[in-house]
Structure 1
């Protein structure tokens, strides 16, 4: 060939098709960039352009560099190289370094393209790496960032036997009461006993007053339409009542009582019997055929090809119920509804990536599993337990 050489490779991963162009243009041949097929999306052009420009680290621009930048502007391509990147080529003959290797891509895949990497093996050139986004890694990184932000911003310090009315004044009076009792016990006398009773009375009066003020303050902020559970919990705390202990689930099997691990094993055996479904080979082939047809046909519904919008996400977040237990990722609904604008847009990007790739994160494995008894009177039979 009298001009540059290039190869076009079309890679298809699920529903995404990537067009990769590998170019080599020696110094003594024209670039002929207009002959390269460049589409509006999913295009990656990499290779040896043998051109100089300040845009990729040189101190000047030559004619070939001007031609490359004009071609880049005409096709709305983004340069992967940075001016401060390491040189991509080392000449063993001249003992010099330069950057003849460049990478260009369309805007939709620019975030997947990494910068200049380390030298591979004995090659004289450094690679420009590209990689796709893994929905599992993206979800894991988002969850980790959200949990870290929540840990820094949400006050911690929950403690057992917490009393909402307790304050520093009561803390001081309690220490004074303990000291007065110690003196009464170590130095028995009428004076120390009177002092103990006065300090005790002072402490009890302050405690009753603190309870009343705390009750007024807490109940004033409660919404009885949705915070009834919180109200009763607060009442028990103000009355210094302890929490109730969990009961033990047991089942009866052939006249004997099973508890603990035996109960779990018996439930697993019964659940295995009812959950095993035999599917004949004919039905299996039919399902595989339907799956192949579904994958081969592109959706004709526009809504199935449209990304989720920020307003749609905000509407969905507003419908989340606050008092719900988190899943295995430990992300609560309150964390999601109190995110900032940047975190909300990041979550939208996670959802759209899952929507585009047709995959969901597999990081939800490892949740807690157990059983609860069905509502009926009498001893709990192993067949009367439901999974959760």
Structure 2
């Protein structure tokens, strides 16, 4: 019954502690086989050993006090996590209580390090007092060098006053993402262009076809992963560690990576020069966060307010009869227009080429969402479609709404 009740898909229950008012449980992913349960040392803790790391899950009821010593110290790499229910100014409380003092005294005597950042979210929000506290702590056994265990608190968790805390144990090598740019020349504009009649009512279909061809043929949002300062020596050390799992190889890999990063930092600082190219120097400072951020001025009148005022006051009364009369007169003039008139002649391919060449590249797209670079690289079929389309607009007098 307990196995069915406490089951979590993808995880196995390794250690648990039953109590009428509270309980403790440690789950481990199914792919971890080197995990064993350790015998309990206190009534309020349960612990496991995962590889060379010992994880101790702690819960102290609010009504109870810490014994002396507060917890048992283990001889190997250990991380203590859980709800300690102790108040101390070191982890965000305004006043320290007896439990907080007892816990800090034990930490100082046993060389245990507190993982806490005051800038992070609190781990518990009391619905009764509408305030946030930090009863959930993370302690690591140092043994001279603290275990690298950065901690992140998520802002909310459904149906609970406690918030989830993610702890990454060990040193991680960051993998950066480099964006690969695409080119408009890779788009194939001939796709299905001949199936769309060049009439004014099909302008939306033509625009949708251009955008679809661009999305299907131009790389966008593709990022290539890489590790900064990664050298062939680092690659060899990584391959050696994967084959032998020797900690010395891992240490040598991290040392080589740190040395390469240090050398790159020195070269970057030495090349920082405002004399020849101040732009590159300021770009570097902005990336490092040392430059003052650009603050937008606090404008009293917003652009939306101006636009709303213009729209509200620029619309005069509309005379529908006059509008219909203008349209009737326009159709009459367009029908009586002689064939030799310059207004009735179709556009030429030279005129279209001149117009497309005059558009500036790299500008923002218009209402239809087509960048000018797309129009510059239109093929012969697409240009012929545009010629027939614009000539049809002049023949019929029908202009698409967009």
Q: TM-score range by the shorter chain?
A: 0.3 to 0.5
TM-score (normalizing by structure 2): 0.36
Q: Which has the higher helix share?
A: 1
TM-score (normalizing by structure 1): 0.37
Larger RCO, structure (CA 8 Å, separation 6 or more): 1
